[in-house]
Every structure is written in structure tokens, then in C-alpha cells.
Amino acid sequence: MADKEMRAVYAETLTELASKDDRIVVLEADLMRATGTGPFKEKYPDRAVNVGVAEANMLSIAGGMSTEGYIPFAATFGCFATRRAFDQFFLSCAYAGLNVKLVGTDPGVSAAFNGGTHMPFEDLGLVRMVPGIDIVEPSDPVSLKALVQQIAARPNSAYIRLHRKALSPLYPETATFEVGKAKVLRSGTGVTLAALGGLMVHNAVTAAELLAADGISAEVIDVLSLKPLDAETILASARKTGLVISIENHQAHNGLGSAVAELFAEAADRPARLVRMGIQDQFGEVGTEAWLLEKFGLRAEDIAAAVKKALKG
């Protein structure tokens, strides 16, 4: 698979699913063009519902449609999906025991020119608190397609953190994925880079190459699923390398870093030292993605530097 816009993969996957399953419906809140679900609407006009600029309304409508057996995929920018419509996702969807797939797009710094108002650094922290849901952040076109298919087949509500822009594939098209399972992208012995989401996983892979040039063997884990978290894979790698760097395009607290810290704190042994990379209790701001990655210290070279610092310390 070549580089591909993630939103195009999302829309194609849903359209394909809908051809076999008439329960699949798409809900949008005036961001159908941004999410790229236009082709779904062209093919299934009755099953694409645009509610207008009303995210809270959209999620309760989705809950209502789920009571009738439909499987709504409701998408909007991650900031609105979670901050603005949190109570609706919590109560009308998850608490009500319903099956709504909430899709939060433009994660973290990828919100770029929309700026701090639109930059979700806290969406994962919010939805992690909702009992019984799945949370995934696919890292490339192949994992996105597979995880959307899997999430569609599961009976519970879910949050899919969707990078909309193009990403290069990290996996062959034959790779298989499972909600709750991470992937070891590269084996190593000196440090574990546990990264979540397209930008971070790609940067972690590059960081591992930079570290290799300096004689440091880095293992790269593509976490993929924040909830359930693949404790087995992360703990095994941690015990092997003794040092884990969690890397997320999100606040370093309440997301991946916290989830890994909880895992380590409750382990009977001390599996590894942990360094949490992510946003350090700051708000987002406007700029190019490259500028923002530098500003918040999430480039490949920042990851490599953090590893070297930790190994020295």
C-alpha cells in the first residue's frame, strides 16, 4: 500500500462494511468534507446523517439509532467529540449500554492551523474514564482499515482517534490486528519506545534508526489500542530493556503515559524505568505540524535525545 490519506481509508472501509452490513450508518456534524465520508453518502444516502453543527445532539441521536440496532460511526474533530459532547457520549452511548463508534479526528498537533482551540491534547484522558469502551489510535492505513473493521464487529461503544492526513504504511497488507493488542514493529534490547498514533509511531521508528547509528538498540511498540491496553506486550518488552519511553501526541498524563505508569506501579516487580513523552501540561497553539512537533518536543530527534538522557541518568 502506498502513502494514503487516512480519512480516505476510513471512508472506503466504512463504505465496504456498509455493503455487507446494513446496520452501519455514518453521522457527521457539518464536517463531512473534512472527514471525507462524502463517498459513503453518495452510495448510501439514507444511511449518512448530517446533523449540522451540533455535536452533542449528534451523539445522543447516535445512541437513539443504536437502540434500533444501527451501528453509528459519528465523527467530528477530536476536541468537539470529547470535550464538547462528553456527557452525551458517556450517558446516551456508553452508560446506556449502546454501540456507538465515536471518531475524533485531527489528534493533537495535527490540528495545526486550526490552533489551540481545536487541538485535542486531552481527548484520550477524557474517554479513558468511560467504562467498557474500546479506544484505538491506528498508526497507518493498514492498521486503520483493520481496526475499523474490528471495532465495527464489536458490540460496545468505542473511540477511534483518527489522523486524517496521509501516512505511509508501516505494515504489509496481510498483517492482522486485534483490538487490545499492540505490535512490536522493531525488536531491540536497550530501550522500549512505546508510541501511540501515526505521527508518534513514525517518529519512534525514525528515532530507533537514529539510535541504532549510535549503537543503541531500541525496540519500537506500536501501542494501537489504549483500552484495552496490551499489558502483556508492554511488560515483556519493559522487562527485557529496563527502560520504557511512552510517546503520545497528547498530554503526558491521563493518556498512554499514565496507563503504562499504572501498569508498572501495580506490577509485583519493578518492570522498567518509565519516561513519559507527550504534552507537558500545556495548551495547544497554532502553527505547522513540524513547528508544533518541535515546540512540544515530539520529533524523532527529541525522542532519541530523551533516550540518551535517560540512559545516562
**65 scored as a contact of other proteins (CB under 8 A):** yes
Query: Which residues face 71 on adjacent strands?
Result: 24
**73 scored as a contact of other proteins (CB under 8 A):** no
Length of the chain: 313
Q: Which is nearer to other proteins, 41 or 202 (CB)?
A: 41
Distance between CA atoms of 295 and 181, rounded to whole angstroms? 31
**130 scored as a contact of other proteins (CB under 8 A):** no
**Residue whose grid cell is 519511553:** 245
- What are 29's three cell numbers? 456534524
5, 57, 156, 261: residue in contact with other proteins (rule CB under 8 A): 57
**228 scored as a contact of other proteins (CB under 8 A):** no
Which residues make Cβ contacts (< 8 Å) with residue 170, sequence separation at least 6?
139, 140, 142, 143, 185, 201, 202, 205, 222
**149 scored as a contact of other proteins (CB under 8 A):** no
Element (H, E) at 103: strand 101-105
Q: Which of the residues 55, 122, 137, 248 is marked catalytic?
A: 55
Q: Which is nearer to other proteins, 66 or 233 (CB)?
A: 66
1, 8, 34, 91: residue in contact with other proteins (rule CB under 8 A): 91
**86 scored as a contact of other proteins (CB under 8 A):** no
**25 scored as a contact of other proteins (CB under 8 A):** yes
Q: Which is nearer to other proteins, 25 or 263 (CB)?
A: 25
**255 scored as a contact of other proteins (CB under 8 A):** no
Which residue, among 213, 129, 165, has the nearest Cα to 36 in the 3D structure? Answer: 165
The CA-to-CA distance between both ends of the chain, in Å, stands at: 41
A 10 A CB-CB count for 266 gives 8
Which of these segments, 62-70, 133-141, 154-162, 231-239, binds other proteins (CB under 8 A)? Answer: 62-70
Furthest C-alpha separation in the chain: 60
Q: Which is nearer to other proteins, 91 or 311 (CB)?
A: 91
Burial of 33 (0-12, 13-18, 19+ CB in 10 A): exposed
Q: Which is nearer to other proteins, 23 or 240 (CB)?
A: 23
CB of 25 to other proteins, least distance (A): 8
Distance between CA atoms of 299 and 58, rounded to whole angstroms? 36
For the question of residue 55 being annotated catalytic, the response is: yes
Q: Which is nearer to other proteins, 93 or 194 (CB)?
A: 93
Distance between CA atoms of 72 and 143, rounded to whole angstroms? 20
Restricting to residues 37-56, which ones interact with other proteins according to CB under 8 A?
46-47, 49, 51-52, 54, 56
Burial of 44 (0-12, 13-18, 19+ CB in 10 A): middle
**132 scored as a contact of other proteins (CB under 8 A):** no
CB of 35 to other proteins, least distance (A): 19
Q: Which residues are catalytic?
A: 55
Interacting residues toward other proteins by CB under 8 A = 25, 46-47, 49, 51-52, 54, 56-57, 60-70, 87-88, 91-92, 95-97
